Structure 1
Amino acid sequence: MTLENAFAEIQQFWPGGLPFAFGRGRAASRLSAEFGRPLPPDLVTYLDSVAPAEDVEFATVGNPLQLYGLARLGPQQPGYSFNPLTQQPLPDWNPAFFLLADEGADPVVLDLGQPAAGIQKLLHGAGSWDEGATIADTLGQFLLCSAALHHALTAFEDEPVVDDARGFNLAPQAAAWLFPRLKAWAGPHYSAWCGDFDNT
């Protein structure tokens, strides 16, 4: 899914049309130089025309997803690629990882060495950065699914999650809106977005 197609879908449901103002930061050349490698075309479009100027939060079932603003993007990421106390790189971090966001310190990355592998959410505290899953094939799919989950959790019932004897469920109106859409939009990554709920 392209960024253009993703935002066309988002504009159909997001109040005001867009979840954030496009930064139009023309940051791809700078970041390509900082990483010392060419960036995939989809990421170039995102960095030059779409990425927000400031961090943006999307609601999730647990910790919010923090989408990084332009000023925060780069190869030197405290706690992931870089130790701010020792001022040294952290050796277990893949220098090809482009950190886009995090969810409760779980990094969301695009591997510049394997961009076709898609957007991955890795697990912090697992002893290595080998643990995680692909959550989207493209940046557009990632942003659309993030926006859709946020919308389901904030735009319908006052209590969007029902946790009782019947399980951990998304409330009925939110579920009726979200699940069929994410089955279409997330495709094989549906469980990465809806797997927390028992009523999917």
Structure 2
Amino acid sequence: MPNSSIPWIVEELFLFSIRELDTAQDGYRWTGPQRRRLPTWPSNWVVIAAIFGDPFIADVDEPAVPIYFARHGAGCWRADRVAPTAATFLKVLARFESVLLGAFDSDVWDEDGLLRPGFLRAVEDAVTELLPPADSASFMTALT
């Protein structure tokens, strides 16, 4: 279990420290007790955070280190960019947390078990100031 996490809409988003990064790649880059390399995982991808096993990925071959999000269990890895740089990703997480914990006090679900439209609008407004439109849309998809 990672040492660092932040509240997310359902459970915690686990952020991996430098010491945890190697182990955090298990199940993505590595498989089994011998930690065999999975050929379907790009060598330039490093999992830096995860929610429900869905990874946030740093592309370490790119100078700006963009951050991507992928869903596990889809049969193949398809990652969508959620931030143009790692620094921007951290700013987006801070904005998200200010909406989740500040404006909504974690009360983001309606009586039907759906995310409140007002919450989604507030998050979108907050992250749109920091992200290009396509990245903002991908970040919002990562929430649902």
Task: Report the TM-score range of the alignment, normalised by the length of the smaller protein.
Answer: 0.7 to 0.9
Contact 1:98-1:112 at 8 Å conserved across structures:
yes
Which sections of structure 2, spanning at least 5 residues, go unmatched? none
* In 2: Cα distance, 1:186 partner to 1:132 partner: 17
- The residue that corresponds to 1:108 in the other structure is 56
Q: In the superposition, relative to structure 1, how do residues 84 and 136 fare at CA in structure 2: closer, same or farther (>3 Å)?
A: same
Q: TM-score normalised to the size of structure 1?
A: 0.58
- The residue that corresponds to 2:91 in the other structure is 144
* In 2: Cα distance, 1:154 partner to 1:110 partner: 26
Q: Are 1:190 and 2:136 an aligned pair?
A: yes
Which amino acid in 2 is paired with 1:102? A
Aligned match for 1:153, one of 94, 100, 111: 100
Which amino acid in 2 is paired with 1:65? L
Q: Are 1:71 and 2:19 an aligned pair?
A: yes
* In 1: Cα distance, 2:30 partner to 2:95 partner: 32
Aligned match for 1:96, one of 41, 44, 60: 44
* In 1: Cα distance, 2:85 partner to 2:11 partner: 22
Q: Aligned-pair distance for 1:75?
A: 8.3
- The residue that corresponds to 1:59 in the other structure is 7
Q: What SS does the corresponding residue of 1:168 show, helix, strand or coil?
A: coil
- The residue that corresponds to 1:21 in the other structure is none
Which sections of structure 1, spanning at least 5 residues, go unmatched? 1-53
Q: In the superposition, relative to structure 1, how do residues 180 and 88 fare at CA in structure 2: closer, same or farther (>3 Å)?
A: closer
* In 1: Cα distance, 2:116 partner to 2:10 partner: 14
Contact 1:159-1:171 at 8 Å conserved across structures:
no
Aligned length: 140
Q: What SS does the corresponding residue of 2:10 show, helix, strand or coil?
A: coil
Q: Deviation per CA, 1:121-162, whole angstroms, max 9, x where unpaired?
A: 111111111x23110000111111112212211223445214
* In 2: Cα distance, 1:138 partner to 1:190 partner: 13
Q: TM-score normalised to the size of structure 2?
A: 0.76
Q: In the superposition, relative to structure 1, how do residues 191 and 63 fare at CA in structure 2: closer, same or farther (>3 Å)?
A: farther
Which amino acid in 1 is paired with 2:42? N
- The residue that corresponds to 1:181 in the other structure is 126
Q: Aligned-pair distance for 1:164?
A: 4.3
* In 1: Cα distance, 2:19 partner to 2:116 partner: 37
Q: Aligned-pair distance for 1:120?
A: 0.5
Q: In the superposition, relative to structure 1, how do residues 107 and 86 fare at CA in structure 2: closer, same or farther (>3 Å)?
A: same
* In 1: Cα distance, 2:24 partner to 2:9 partner: 29
- RMSD, aligned α-carbons: 2.9
Higher Cα Rg: structure 1 or 2?
1
- The residue that corresponds to 1:81 in the other structure is 29
- The residue that corresponds to 1:34 in the other structure is none
Which amino acid in 1 is paired with 2:67? I
